[in-house]
Chain A
Amino acid sequence: MVGIASFGAYIPWWRLGPETKEWGSRAERAAASYDEDSVTMAVAATVNCLSGLERQSVDALYFASTTSPYREKQAAATVAAAADLRPSVFTADFSNTTRAGTIALKAALDAVKSGSMKKVLVVAADTRPAMARSDFEAAFGDSAAALLIADSGAVVTVEDSLFLSDEMLDVWRADKEAYARSWEDRFVADEGYTRVLLEAVSGLAKRAKLDPKELSKAVLYAPDARRHAEMVRRLGLETKQVADPLFSAMGNSGAAYALTVLVSTLEEAREGDRILLADYGNGADVFLLRVGPGVEKARRERTVKALLGSKKGLDSYEIYARWRGLIDPAPPVRRPPLQGPSVTAFWRERDQNIRLYGARCQNCGYEQYPPQRVCTRCHTKDRFQPVRFADKKGHIFTYSMDYLGATVQPPLVIAVVNFEGGGRILTQMTDRDPSQLRVGLPVEMTFRKLFSADGVHNYYWKSMPVRV
């Protein structure tokens, strides 16, 4: 039976919240760090979704986002490489609407049903830019969610689904514009979101002869908490039937929003549950899902609940504004200007930098990073097997905090990490609390953006304290 065989999400560590000076809201918003974007978050969700599973059998990776880091250059290819999928994987980007996540989900279900593929990984991630102090900024949060669609081992299946397309300018971002725009809010809500989603949900209910009272949970896309509450009322759902929309803890994460709430719902689901998944954006995608046996086993250790609980409030809104480029950074008068990486070197070293492959010497067995031609221990030449360091745990051997080094978030923390099972990497650290750092601290690797310059995003792995 075709369905969801595994699921996992990613929520950034940082929050805009009550402790954030000048933020002015009690609700928390998950905020991607300065070195994260939809690609890096998608990698984290993919790795989480596939943890403990064999990756080489994944046939395709579908990436969904409204904030792909390149206008021309596939994001799915980067995500697939960083997640260490096999080189022959089929990759596709889905974009341009907040509904992109469920569009990718439908495409994946259809591909597996058709028999053309056995396992398709759907990952949605978004970090939508909003104008400073706008309503969008107050509502938006950042997250990623991944679902593995497979022809066997499914723990969630699709009973029925319905799709609507709707031509309308309600929320949009034109080419070369930095931020989303919208028309008058009542028009947008009444004639856009509310009308279209109600039409889609009632259409599905009618066709599937579904009494809303039979639903275990409803996962409803909504632009914000107020519209969500209104939709719940219009659908006549009881509170216990409604999945927590995460508007107090995360915010609307665009194309990743509905799937993140779905993952969070599945993490608590039990066999026999019937779940409505309703997504919106220039139309609506509605799925009626049935939870089958074994759903508990498909739950990853790193749940949405755990990730929401593992957090650090930003000290001030100014830091967030700096991260998002809402404040122009001072020109680097004390440091040389940033130059983009050499694209040929970036390409040549893609396995070591994007897949984080080191080399295991076939003579002495020592694992070293970066890969060498001549073994650092036994001096054997060219007899190595690739070994992926990204999934290994390690600890800090030594570290320093640089208060003058070029970084968006001082201090620049550099740590020498020793891995369990041997091997060492000199790393930049991220998502760290300087007061918690110590020799021996357990760390894990995380895919991040080192910097962007000359139109090139320089992705690399960093270390961070083990999160959950």
Chain B
Amino acid sequence: MGSIKDKVAIIGMGCVKFGELWNKSVDDLIVEAAYEAYEDAGVEPKDIQAAWVGSMGSGWRGCMLSIPLKLEYIPISRNENACATASDAFRNACYAVAAGVYDLALVMGVEKLKDTGFAGLDVSKVEPTGTNVAPPCPPPVQFALAATRYFHHYGLSFQQGKETLAKIAVKNHYNGARSPKAHFQREITLEQALKAPMVAWPLGLFDCCGVSDGAAAAIITRTELARKYRQDYVTVKGLGLTCGAKQGVLQDDYDFVHFEENVTASKRAYAEAGITDPRNEVDLASVHDCFTITELLIYEDLGFSPRGKAKEDVDSGFFSLQGGLPVNTDGGLKCFGHPVGASGLRMIYEVYKQLQGKAGERQLKDPKVGLTHNLGGLPGEFACAVIVLGKGG
């Protein structure tokens, strides 16, 4: 397999404040994220030669991007890969730029979830091909199945399991409280997390991420051109993407204590980036904490913690802002919010800002390598994207 390591650079990014943005349309979100990215990169809209837009269900065609931005007669693709939508749009754009076809491309991720009238996710938008014949299985349940099994597999009592997950929520709320664009910016206590109402047993309210509106954008170019725009650009070191084939329900030995898509996507990204010891070589990670149990599994699947030992790292604070490998420094999906098709680029936005030293109160000390991880779908049928980014220049 080939490699595009260090061939593509991010030279500008934008991200709106996530939340229940009742008075903002999809077009508003796109315009705000794009113009922040233009300004950050120092480019004009007319400089954009091609674009990719990621969205689960907030629009259709590339025209959902060209119309609000008035990008006239350039190639634009709309990309969908569940919660990994924006990461995959970014990946496709990177390959096109690395191939030398375009010098400057725009990648947008956007989702407007709060026009439905429902508190949760409208599943009909998540599974547009559904015939409504088979029994529905709500997203929190899909991940709760992993929590039940993880507790059982590693012999954790309900209380031990809940506390481990609650610590992840408390950490992400701590980080979210230092993240001005996050949907939820309040710290919580361990007790609050433990006593919260049950959503999908054993997952409670604080084990579940927010349902939010939002958009984020990136402008990329070939690395050799990046210095023309800025000195502190960020380079793409590795891209991994894998899809499951429904093994979760088809295969009776699928274990529900790890997600193989995480393992295979990260291996591919690590190989391309030349990372052999992620626990020590990755300085920060923005991972897909749709539910706290997902983040716990990711620690092990991505090689941050040995199998079955993530609890020890959670207990020691290894993944906190002050720890050895800070994870979800901006609050993660839990607090920053999860507008499905925008989340991948929001994660890249945080790593980009951290690598540039512009992350404000939550700034880490001189990080050089950051990782984003995005997981969309259900156990055994995920689309999973892992992206390794490095400090340029």
A residues within 8 Å of B by Cβ?
Answer: 333-336, 339-342, 345-346, 349, 353, 368-370, 372, 376-377, 397-406, 411-412, 414, 416, 418-419, 422-428, 439, 450, 458, 460, 462
When distances are taken between beta carbons in the complex, the residues of chain A under 8 Å from B199 are 402-404
**B148–A345 CB distance below 8 A:** no
**B250–A460 CB distance below 8 A:** no
Taking a contact as CB atoms closer than 8 A, the residue among B123, B203, B250 that contacts A424 in the complex is B250
**A450–B135 CB distance below 8 A:** yes
Give the CA-CA distance A110 to B135 in the complex, in Å.
42
Task: Give me 8 A-to-B residue pairs in the complex whose CB atoms sit less than 8 angstroms apart, sorted by A's number.
Answer: A345-B132, A368-B251, A397-B149, A398-B145, A403-B198, A411-B201, A412-B138, A460-B135
Chain A residue with the shortest CB-CB distance to B249 = A426
**Knowing A404-B199, A419-B252 touch, does A414 contact B141 (C-beta < 8 A)?**
yes
Check B128 for interface membership: any CB of A closer than 8 A.
no
**B247–A376 CB distance below 8 A:** yes
Check B12 for interface membership: any CB of A closer than 8 A.
no
Check B113 for interface membership: any CB of A closer than 8 A.
no
When distances are taken between beta carbons in the complex, the residues of chain A under 8 Å from B203 are 400
**A333–B132 CB distance below 8 A:** no
Give the CA-CA distance A417 to B1 in the complex, in Å.
39
**B138–A334 CB distance below 8 A:** no
Chain B residue with the shortest CB-CB distance to A400 = B144
Give the CA-CA distance A427 to B117 in the complex, in Å.
28
**Knowing A336-B124, A398-B146 touch, does A342 contact B118 (C-beta < 8 A)?**
no
**A439–B149 CB distance below 8 A:** yes
**Knowing A400-B201, A426-B249 touch, does A412 contact B124 (C-beta < 8 A)?**
no
Taking a contact as CB atoms closer than 8 A, the residue among A336, A345, A416 that contacts B131 in the complex is A345
**A425–B131 CB distance below 8 A:** no
In the complex, which of the residues A399, A400, A416, A439 has the most CB atoms of chain B within 10 Å of its own CB atom? Answer: A400
When distances are taken between beta carbons in the complex, the residues of chain B under 8 Å from A412 are 138, 141
**Knowing A334-B120, A398-B149 touch, does A404 contact B138 (C-beta < 8 A)?**
yes
When distances are taken between beta carbons in the complex, the residues of chain A under 8 Å from B134 are 353, 370, 460
User: Which 4 pairs show the lowest CB-CB distances between chains A and B?
Assistant: A345-B131, A400-B144, A398-B149, A401-B201
B residues within 8 Å of A by Cβ?
Answer: 116-120, 122-124, 131-138, 140-141, 144-149, 152, 197-203, 245-252, 254, 256
**B133–A418 CB distance below 8 A:** no
Chain A residue with the shortest CB-CB distance to B257 = A398
**Knowing A376-B250, A398-B256, A439-B149 touch, does A403 contact B141 (C-beta < 8 A)?**
no
In the complex, which of the residues B118, B119, B249 has the most CB atoms of chain A within 10 Å of its own CB atom? Answer: B249
**B256–A416 CB distance below 8 A:** yes
Chain B residue with the shortest CB-CB distance to A374 = B245
**B133–A353 CB distance below 8 A:** yes
When distances are taken between beta carbons in the complex, the residues of chain B under 8 Å from A450 are 135
Taking a contact as CB atoms closer than 8 A, the residue among B140, B146, B152 that contacts A402 in the complex is B140
Give the CA-CA distance A403 to B200 in the complex, in Å.
6
Using A333-B118, A398-B145, A404-B120 as known contacts, list a sample of 20 further A-B pairs with CB atoms less than 8 Å apart, ordered by residue number in A. A339-B132, A340-B132, A341-B131, A345-B131, A346-B133, A369-B250, A377-B251, A397-B149, A400-B201, A400-B203, A401-B198, A401-B201, A403-B199, A404-B140, A405-B138, A405-B200, A412-B141, A424-B251, A424-B254, A426-B249
Chain A residue with the shortest CB-CB distance to B246 = A376
Taking a contact as CB atoms closer than 8 A, the residue among A345, A377, A411 that contacts B133 in the complex is A345
When distances are taken between beta carbons in the complex, the residues of chain B under 8 Å from A425 are 249
**B146–A334 CB distance below 8 A:** no
Q: How many Å from the CB of A451 to the closest CB on chain B?
A: 9
Give the CA-CA distance A349 to B135 in the complex, in Å.
13
When distances are taken between beta carbons in the complex, the residues of chain A under 8 Å from B200 are 400-405
**Knowing A398-B148, A427-B135 touch, does A376 contact B140 (C-beta < 8 A)?**
no
When distances are taken between beta carbons in the complex, the residues of chain A under 8 Å from B118 are 333-336
Give the CA-CA distance A439 to B135 in the complex, in Å.
21
In the complex, which of the residues A345, A414, A460 has the most CB atoms of chain B within 10 Å of its own CB atom? Answer: A414
Give the CA-CA distance A60 to B117 in the complex, in Å.
50
Q: How many Å from the CB of A437 to the closest CB on chain B?
A: 9
Give the CA-CA distance A333 to B252 in the complex, in Å.
37
**Knowing A336-B118, A400-B141 touch, does A342 contact B132 (C-beta < 8 A)?**
yes
Chain A residue with the shortest CB-CB distance to B117 = A333
When distances are taken between beta carbons in the complex, the residues of chain B under 8 Å from A462 are 135
**B133–A342 CB distance below 8 A:** yes
Q: How many Å from the CB of A348 to the closest CB on chain B?
A: 9
When distances are taken between beta carbons in the complex, the residues of chain A under 8 Å from B197 are 403
Give the CA-CA distance A10 to B64 in the complex, in Å.
56
Give the CA-CA distance A372 to B254 in the complex, in Å.
17
**Knowing A402-B140, A439-B149 touch, does A428 contact B135 (C-beta < 8 A)?**
yes
Give the CA-CA distance A439 to B146 in the complex, in Å.
12
**A341–B250 CB distance below 8 A:** no
**Knowing A336-B116, A342-B133, A376-B246 touch, does A403 contact B201 (C-beta < 8 A)?**
yes
When distances are taken between beta carbons in the complex, the residues of chain A under 8 Å from B122 are 336
In the complex, which of the residues B131, B133, B256 has the most CB atoms of chain A within 10 Å of its own CB atom? Answer: B133
When distances are taken between beta carbons in the complex, the residues of chain B under 8 Å from A427 are 135
**Knowing A335-B118, A404-B199, A426-B249 touch, does A399 contact B133 (C-beta < 8 A)?**
no
Chain B residue with the shortest CB-CB distance to A401 = B201
Q: How many Å from the CB of A244 to the closest CB on chain B?
A: 38
When distances are taken between beta carbons in the complex, the residues of chain B under 8 Å from A403 are 197-201
